Amino acid sequence: MSEEINTKEKFCTACKRWLPIDKFSGDKHSPDLHYYICKECTNQRARDLRRKKAEKKKELERQEIEQRTEAKTKLNQSTPRELMEELLARGFEGELTIITTFKLANGQIINTSNFKGLK
């Protein structure tokens, strides 16, 4: 009886091979109580899925950084008035202190603050 089970083979629908039944994981929902793809293919699918998930996560992180950089650049290029209007629109309340830094060099006045609107 046990010998009969050990010699039994099953067709893996993923790698299209006939393999000994012990190369398949147990599955109580399957009519023959074994999973429809072999352990090797199950592991490969799990690896592929993990890789795809990791790639998707990386792509989402890249997009988020890009969006933040864009938003930061937009804010840095806005005038104090535009900045205040943006903060109001986002529901912020309170005091806003804007510090403007100028650099005097080579006979020129250079605005080195983030807010290029302050000249």
Interface residues toward Zn ion, by CB under 5 A: 12, 14-15, 38, 41
Beta strands in the chain (DSSP E): 9-11, 18-20, 102-105, 108-111
Q: Closest approach of Cβ 41 to Zn ion, in Å? A: 3
Nearer to Zn ion, 42 or 78 (CB): 42
Is 41 or 115 the residue whose CB approaches Zn ion more closely?
41
User: Residue 66 Cβ, how far from Zn ion at the closest point, in Å?
Assistant: 40
Least distance CB 32 / Zn ion (angstroms): 15
Say how many C-beta atoms besides its own lie within 10 A of residue 115's C-beta: 19
Per DSSP, the three-state class of 109 is strand
CA distance 58 to 71: 20
